[in-house]
Every structure is written in structure tokens, then in C-alpha cells.
Structure 1
Amino acid sequence: MTDRLSAYAPQALAVLRIVAALLFILHGTQKLFGFPATEMQPPLMSLFGAAGVIELIGGLLILVGFYSRIAAFIASGTMAVAYWMVHAPGSLYPTNNGGDAAILFCFVFLYLVFSGPGAWAVNRK
């Protein structure tokens, strides 16, 4: 059974990459364009604005699988910084400080750095 499932590992990895990228892009569009609707609209030339640019552009690169290892490395680092600078000071526990998504993004993208993009990528390197 597991051998049959292993045959679909590249496609499952691609689905993980695509879904994570779509969610990451939403965080970027929220910061940069206010969509989905939010109160947070940071200046572009701020740390949050830079994070929004990385989330949007990096998310698009990861989504299509174009230089996805480099984009995932930058995105992973961005989420590590986001967690330790924004979320961790609020509480020791990620469920209380709202940082659980940042942790998940960080490690999913870190995994993509090592695994590559999987199937359906523009460049599969």
C-alpha cells in the first residue's frame, strides 16, 4: 500500500507547495492592497511592507515553482523573523501569540528548500 502511495509523492508535494503559496500570497495582498479586508495597511517602506512584498512575490514564485528553492528560503527566513519579532514577545505559546501560522509557513518553506518544488513546477530544480 505505501509503495503505491509513494508513487504520488511528487504530486502531493506540489499540492502542499501550491496551497501554502496561495495562503502566503493572501498575507501579502492583505498587507499591500488591503485584500482581504483588514485594518493593517503598513507603509511599503517598513518592515511589514517588506514582509508583504516577500509574501506576494515569493508566494507567486513558490506557487508556480519558479526558483522555488530560493524563494522558499527567503520566505522561511521571513517567517522566522516574523515569529520572533512580532509573535514571540506576546507569549511563550504560539497558540496564544498568534504565531502558529508563521511557524508552519517557516517549516513548510524550509522543507521546500531541501525537497524542491515537486511536480507541476516551471523549473524543477
Structure 2
Amino acid sequence: MTPAEIGSVWAPRLLSVLRIMAALLFMQHGTQKLLGFPNMPANGQPAMGTLLWFGGVIELVGGALIAIGFFTRPAAFIASGMAAVAYFLFHAGRGFFPVMNGGELAALYCFVFLYIAAAGPGPWSVDATMSRNRASRWT
């Protein structure tokens, strides 16, 4: 197999792996904020309806949707925007460099989810399965 053939076989699968792992890690922020799991946030759980609470809802629900690959593109786009807002509201004011202001994860999530919103969920997803099922009904 040539490197190009290997890439064409594995790139879509690794997109699915990236989507799943990024979403599961993202969900941890939501479970921490909303459920106090695996530990309580340093400032305690956010009050319902606050900006941090809405962030937790997006992290938990959006992360779950992205992880299973259902409504992946819109969920990833919303998660990307939430991560960008988190970076600029909570990190950028502490300094220019993300490594210094604690915003590396927010910046990384922003761009990973933006890529997933553009590239799609990959073959191992509910969206891909539904698309294949729709296509097979019409052939």
C-alpha cells in the first residue's frame, strides 16, 4: 500500500477517532460544572441560567452529540463558538499567550470543533449511518 492509499483509508477513520475523543474530553468540563463529577469546580457549581451554566450545558449536551456523531456539524459549530467565547471572556484578559493565560484547551477545542464542523463526523457516526440508510432506500 502506498502512503496515499493508507491516508485515504485511515484519514476518515481517524477523523472519527478525533471527534469521539475530543468530545469525551469536552464533556468532562460539562459534567464537572453541572454534576460535580469527577470533582466539584473550584468556584462551586454555577447557578442555573448563568453564563457558566450555559457553557456546561453546551459542553455536556453538545459533547454527547459530537461523541456519538449525531447532528455533528451544528453541535461542533456551537461548541467551537462556545470555546472561543470562553477563551476571550475568561482567558485572553490574563495575557497574550495561551500557555500563560490558561486558555490552551479553550483555543484547541475551538479549532478542533471548527474543523469537525467543516469536515463532518467521519464514517463511525450516527450521521454517517443515517446517510447510508437514506442512500440505500433510494437505490
TM-score (ref. length: structure 2): 0.86
Runs of 4+ with deviation above 4 angstroms:
none
Trace 1:37-116 onto structure 2 (pairs within 5 A): 37-38=39-40, 39=42, 40-116=44-120
Rg larger in structure: 2
- How many residue pairs match? The answer is 125
- Following superposition, the deviation at residue 4 of structure 1 comes to 3.1
Q: Which has the higher contact order (CA 8 A, sep 6+)?
A: 1
- Following superposition, the deviation at residue 2 of structure 1 comes to 1.8
2: distance between equivalents of 1:53 and 1:37?
A: 17
RMSD: 1.1
2: distance between equivalents of 1:46 and 1:5?
A: 47
2: distance between equivalents of 1:49 and 1:70?
A: 20
- Following superposition, the deviation at residue 5 of structure 1 comes to 2.3
- Following superposition, the deviation at residue 41 of structure 1 comes to 1.1
Unaligned runs of 5+ in 1: none
- Matched-pair identity in %: 53
**SS class of match (2:122):** coil
TM-score (ref. length: structure 1): 0.96
Query: Which position in structure 1 is the counterpart of 2:6?
Result: 5
2: distance between equivalents of 1:111 and 1:86?
A: 23
Query: Which position in structure 2 is the counterpart of 1:31?
Result: 33
